[in-house]
Amino acid sequence: MAMMLRSTVARLVRLKALNTQTVRNVSIDNGKSKIYEFRQYWLKPSGVSSFMKLFEEFAPTRLKHSELLGYWTVELGGINQVVHIWEYDSFEQRSNVRAALAKDEQWVQGFVKNAFPYLDKQENAVLYGADWCDIQKDKAMSGSFELASYGMKVGGPAVWGSQLKASLLAHARQGYCDLIGVWYTDTGDHNQVKVVWRYDSFDARREGKNMAHEDSVLVNKMRDNLKNVVSHHNVLMNPLPFLSK
């Protein structure tokens, strides 16, 4: 009996070690990864134009503090929304930036004070970039964009990461779009994936997807991935014109 118990305990220890190693092999956060803050604002319909003009005026002030990956207005799939992603080296850097912004009178008095009346709702989440996808910063400011948000099965990338990767890379290989980045949530709704695609135009997106869906290899990889997808929502977006100048 004692020998059987020791054998069972030893087997459980080995399984735990194996599971831990598996998670480590697909981890997107090695303690040195950059973090990305995904922010989404819902604006009051009457305040959209005024908010955008205000941000354009004070964007140089904000950009002195940290790096902006992209800032977009939602064109289809939602209205009166803006989406922006900010890059930080660490949580500490983000805290330092937020503290510096709070002391920046030009930002606080010029932008924050005047922007709040135009806001209806705000949400944010912290994301890590998927370690297999290089983020294309140089392509995030011009073109037409799609933000795809996936709710995945519980378990994280260890459960669904390989199928997701295969599906997204199969799309990217079609050549009609640029994969700007893939991110997994750390704070916010768990088991969420954010994917940003760039197209030359929304019509180019339409034509490319129609052709891609005739590719049997791609379709099969999509089906494998969809087995792990709980929810899916997408919006089409335009970058702020003044940021691409």
Predicted confidence pLDDT, tens digits, the chain (245 residues): 443 334 433 333 333 333 333 333 334 566 668 999 999 999 999 999 999 999 999 999 999 999 999 999 999 999 999 999 999 999 999 999 999 999 999 999 999 999 999 999 999 999 999 999 999 999 999 999 999 999 999 999 999 999 999 999 999 999 999 999 999 999 988 899 999 999 999 999 999 999 998 999 999 999 999 999 999 999 999 999 988 76
Token pair recorded at residue 106: 């030009």
Strand partners of residue 152: 229
Nearest of 126, 128, 234 to residue 181 by alpha carbon: 128
DSSP characters over 99-138: HHHHH-HIIIIIIIHHHGGGEEEEEEEEEEE-TTS---GG
What HEC string does 224-238 produce?
A: HHHCCEEEEEEEEEE
CA dihedral 41, 63, 36, 182 (to 10 degrees): 90
- Backbone phi and psi for residue 190, each to the nearest 5 degrees, phi listed first: -75, 160
